[in-house]
Amino acid sequence: MKLKGKHIAVTGGAGGIGGILCEHLRAAGARVSIYDRVDAAGVQHADLSHLAGITAAGEAMASAAPDIIINLAGLTYFGEFEKESPEHLSALMHVNLLAPMLLARAVIPGMKQRGSGMIVNIGSVFGAIPFAYFAAYSASKAGVRGISDALRRELEGTGIAVVHVAPRAVKTALNNAQVMALAKATNMKMDEPELVVGRIINAMIAQAPHTVIGFPERLFVRLHGLAPTLIDGGVRKQNHAAKSILHTN
């Protein structure tokens, strides 16, 4: 799909990856609408952490009738699951999973009527390889993969493409000091935002159903799909490192 002349709505477009992505999309000739919780010029305010905010964003998107929506906005949590507050857990699931679902639901009727469109869901490698101490985040991203697969099959023949991109860790402000300590302790590979943006745009142009960024992550995703317990031993070292970091005052 050519991006020139397309109207693209991007959630989280004012963030680290989002800002770079929007710049590249505009450079490709697209008209970009940003939906984010920050108050800034050129940004449609959208708080996706609760149902009312998602509903308002969905109504705005449906009215704007974008050719493409990119569900990029996300929250994360690194810590013991029982210590994540119910409020944060609810916000995380709203932003990461419920928003992509309801925003897609809002724009699909218009896309069907026009006979074309694209829904781009940014997931995570953690959605295919659930990690300890990222339980809620992993669950939300597994859901993003699930809704992407289901919608792709449901929308076959309508002219609407569904693209799912699963990055591994990315060097952004979303990672707090503890996550960076974990990355250092385990030699975790982290990609630059520019690389991730390039892969997202390539996936959009190719209308690729699934893109997993990074190796050996692509291999681990396949192995986990075949035999999840084989991965348990491979991530045990990271689990021990994470526990140690979380219990260090």
| pLDDT-based confidence at residue 235 (cuts at 50, 70, 90) | low
| pLDDT-based confidence at residue 165 (cuts at 50, 70, 90) | very high
Instruction: State the Cα angle at 123 between 122 and 128, rounded to 5°.
Output: 155
- For residue 193, pLDDT over 70 is answered with yes
- The per-residue pLDDT for range 24-50, each reduced to its tens digit, is 999 999 999 999 999 888 999 999 999
* Residue 137 annotated among the catalytic residues of the structure: yes
Q: Distance of alpha carbon 52 from its chain centroid, rounded?
A: 21
Nearest 5°: phi and psi at 145?
-60, -40
The pTM assigned to this predicted structure is 0.87
Q: What pairs with residue 211 in β-bridges?
A: 165
The percentage of the chain sitting over the pLDDT mark of 90, rounded to a whole number, equals 70
d(CA 219, CA 210): 14
Domains of the chain: 7-175+189-215 (3.40.50.720)
Which residue is catalytic, options 35, 77, 133, 137?
Answer: 137
